[in-house]
Amino acid sequence: MPDVNLYDDEFHPSPWQSTWREFKQSHIALVGLTTLSFFVVLAILGPILTPYAPDLQNTTALLLPPAWHDNGSVLHLLGTDVLGRDMLSRIIYGIQVTFGGAVGAVLFALIIGTAFGVIAGMTSGVRSSILNHVLDTFMVIPSLLIAIIIVAILGVGLSNAVLAIGLALIPRFVHATRNFIKEEFNKDYIKTARLDGASSVQIYFKNILPNMIDVIIVQGTLAISVAILDIAALGFLNLGAQTLLPELGVMISEGLATAYIAPWNILLPGLSIFLMVISINVVGDGLRSALRNRMSQ
Amino acid sequence: MLNTLVRYFNLIVITLFILLLISFSLAYFFPGDPYTNLTGKMLLADTDGPLAAAFREGNVLQQFWYYVQNLTMGNWGHSFSSALPLYDQIFQTLPATLELTFYASTLSLVIGIPCGMLAGFLHHKKTDYTFMSMSMVMVSFPVFWLALLLILIFSLQLNLLPMSGRLSLLYDIPETSGFVLIDIINSSHPDRDAALYDAIQHLILPTIAVSFITTAVFLRTTRRAIVDVMATEYIKTAQTRGLPFYVIFSRHVLRNAMLSILPLLAIQISTLVTNVMIVETVFSWPGVGHWLIQAIYERDYPAIRIGMLLVSSIVVFFAMSLECISRLIDPSRDNKKYA
């Protein structure tokens, strides 16, 4: 060991620091993180950055192509739609709506799902069995069906779509939490804590929760990408956000009528959904392998 | 083995029962009269049948009992919008969905699993990275946007393939089984070959749109399983014993990897069905998904209820059977999971 200074403690990175170290190793993950932060900034600062209001109609420039096209205008960088609304502004607002809705749905699912998962993981016997059966049933109902049912009961609208997607996402958090807790309970350090006389509640808060946060964050990241896809799909099917709201899926379904003469009205909102989802997936994947590498060290 | 079979049979029965309960309670959750939501008919003073009597009495347990009895007798209620029996409507649309799902999942399995194995064996090599980045891109596609892109490129720009429906109206093929390819092959239509060609052309785009995402998921799942198996001690032992690659592959890798792939495939079924339903709507494919989404536009509550019950029962059945099979061929897995 070269130049060990006896007076300095050896540097022990905290779990988060070592995760970040591993995460930094992958360039693709860093690019994904940059793209994701770009979208987050767009979503938060949306109203300040947009050149026009999302519903401002410029009737002198209907279906204007994007600026790089021969007929495009620099006033509307990404062109306009059939009512002469600026696509760039609408997409930035759309990112706010879609991304914000997805984060809301995931937070809802995360809180409820983790709570149920903890109960399912820490109970045993008949109670656990009943809970698991009911949860497994909900797990196999396709998310679009749950959304259709919620919409049929409560009516269409973005908030109902967010609720439906949140409900559909709950089982994956329950599953992840339950499996994690079952696994951890068989490990030696939990048994040691039990021998020391710790109660289940103490073990949960002191030993399991700190270890579980990683799992939940990875699940949450991946769930956001699913939620974005689902919110956009519901908007596209006219079951989620309604026409007046600039939601990316709704924008695609509005662009359908003019798909042949103005394909950018479909391509650009879809491309922004795609870029958002892929950046989240890359970050989630990078995070997962960073955690795996940290554990194997 | 018998134990596992019995337990899974139990599980399926319990799950189906919960689904029945949910579908029954939906009639109360939907706006309007519960009896009308269940049957699609008005509850009048002289309406016949035990179900109507139970509703007049207000005995919920009896209502549920006769509801289940009606379901088993094929008396599934009537649609609000068309007033036709739902039983007939479902069995007109279901084959189209099953057909599309079958072709799409076969395509995904045939492409996804071999590519995933290749990527797994070449772990951390160029091929692996290529496959992984490709699959990452493929998973991130919104399925409806992908379907629209396919239509834009192949139907509108290149004019190669039809953009909607199952079969051109020119061919009048009698429906016997409901599966269009089988119907055409069995029919005695004079232009049978042309009709078959046309049906296949209609199938290509929806199948690609559905299997695009599923293939990527299968690829990633398989790769992970292979990488995990290749890192184990028994593979190293086999390698030190000097076994040739194909023996290690067929005797150790394939079998053990399949054990972890099968349950993950079972989870994917519900995602697959969601994608099929969306793609059906985009391509106007006359299947259950298209029918259900039309039903919600028309607030056709009996149709939504029965569609939800049927689609989720089918998903439950397939998912549970896959899990049961994986449990049967892998007795080492934790048997106490459901205690």
User: Which of B264, B148, B180, B287 has its CA nearest to residue B214?
Assistant: B264
Computed on alpha carbons and rounded to an integer, the radius of gyration of chain B in Å comes to 24
Whether residue A254 is contained in a domain is answered as: yes
Judge whether B144 and B282 are in contact, CB under 8 Å.
yes
User: Which of A263, A234, A232, A233 has its CA nearest to residue A248?
Assistant: A232
Binary contact (A278, B145; C-beta < 8 A): no
User: How many structural domains is chain A composed of?
Assistant: 1
Q: How far is CA B101 from CA A238, B207, B211, B261, B276, in A?
A: 24, 8, 9, 19, 7
Judge whether B238 and B248 are in contact, CB under 8 Å.
yes
Whether residue A64 is contained in a domain is answered as: no
pLDDT at B300 over 90: no
| pLDDT reported for residue B138 | 92
Binary contact (B144, A233; C-beta < 8 A): yes
Of A134, A225, A236, which has the smallest distance from its Cβ to B144's Cβ? A236
Min Cα–Cα distance to chain B from A246, Å:
17
Q: Which domain holds residue A125?
A: 27-53+78-296
**CATH code of domain B86-297:** 1.10.3720.10
Provide the pLDDT confidence category of residue A2 given band limits of 50, 70 and 90.
Answer: low
What is the interface pTM, i.e. ipTM, of the complex? 0.87
Cα of A294 vs its chain's centroid, Å = 24
Whether residue A265 is contained in a domain is answered as: yes
Judge whether B333 and A174 are in contact, CB under 8 Å.
no
State the sign of the Cα–Cα–Cα–Cα dihedral B32, B305, A170, A191: positive
d(CA B329, CA B263): 12
Min Cα–Cα distance to chain A from B316, Å:
6
Q: Which residues of B touch A133 (CB under 8 A)?
A: 11, 14-15, 18, 338
Tens-place pLDDT, residues B149-159: 999 999 888 88
**Buried/exposed code over B295-319 (b: 16+ C-beta within 10 A; e: otherwise):** bbeeebbbbbbbbbbbbbbbbbebb
Q: Which residues of B touch A124 (CB under 8 A)?
A: 339
Average pLDDT value for residue range B313-328 = 85
Q: Which residues of B touch A35 (CB under 8 A)?
A: none
Provide the pLDDT confidence category of residue B339 given band limits of 50, 70 and 90.
Answer: very low
Min Cα–Cα distance to chain A from B20, Å:
11
* Domain CATH code at residue A212: 1.10.3720.10
A97-101, A194-198, B165-169, B240-244 — which is least confidently predicted?
A: B165-169
Whether residue A8 is contained in a domain is answered as: no
* Test the A interface: residue of B9, B21, B274, B284 with most A CBs within 10 Å: B274
Query: CB-based contacts of B303: which residues, under 8 Å, 6+ apart?
Result: B79, B80, B81, B86, B89, B291, B292, B295
Binary contact (A142, B149; C-beta < 8 A): no
Size of interface A-B (CB pairs under 8 A): 130
| pLDDT reported for residue A245 | 83
A201-215, B32-46, B61-75 — which is least confidently predicted?
A: B32-46
pLDDT at B114 over 50: yes
Binary contact (A229, B29; C-beta < 8 A): no
Whether residue A72 is contained in a domain is answered as: no
Query: CB-based contacts of B204: which residues, under 8 Å, 6+ apart?
Result: B161
Highest mean pLDDT among A65-69, B47-51, B53-57, B305-309: B305-309
Average pLDDT value for residue range A70-83 = 83
pLDDT at B334 over 70: no
d(CA A215, CA A230): 22
Binary contact (A142, B281; C-beta < 8 A): no
Whether residue A167 is contained in a domain is answered as: yes
Q: Which residue of B has its CA nearest to A259?
A: B152
Q: Which residues of B touch A225 (CB under 8 A)?
A: 140
Q: Which residues of B touch A242 (CB under 8 A)?
A: none
Q: Which residues of B touch A281 (CB under 8 A)?
A: 136, 139-140
Binary contact (B271, A142; C-beta < 8 A): yes
Whether residue A4 is contained in a domain is answered as: no
Judge whether B320 and B260 are in contact, CB under 8 Å.
no
d(CA A154, CA B130): 45
Judge whether B13 and B313 are in contact, CB under 8 Å.
no
Binary contact (B293, A237; C-beta < 8 A): yes
Residue with tokens 């940290």: A294
Q: What is the identity of the amino acid at B131?
A: F
Q: Which residues of B touch A152 (CB under 8 A)?
A: 26, 30, 296, 299, 301, 304
Min Cα–Cα distance to chain B from A198, Å:
24
Whether residue A151 is contained in a domain is answered as: yes
Binary contact (B15, A137; C-beta < 8 A): yes
Binary contact (B304, A139; C-beta < 8 A): no
Binary contact (B312, A145; C-beta < 8 A): yes
Min Cα–Cα distance to chain B from A237, Å:
8
Highest mean pLDDT among B47-51, B83-87, B187-191: B83-87
Average pLDDT value for residue range A155-174 = 88
Tens-place pLDDT, residues A180-207: 888 888 888 888 888 988 888 888 888 8
Binary contact (B140, A278; C-beta < 8 A): yes
Of B14, B29, B271, which has the smallest distance from its Cβ to A133's Cβ? B14
Binary contact (A28, B133; C-beta < 8 A): yes
Binary contact (B142, A277; C-beta < 8 A): yes
Tens-place pLDDT, residues B28-59: 888 888 888 888 777 777 777 778 777 777 78
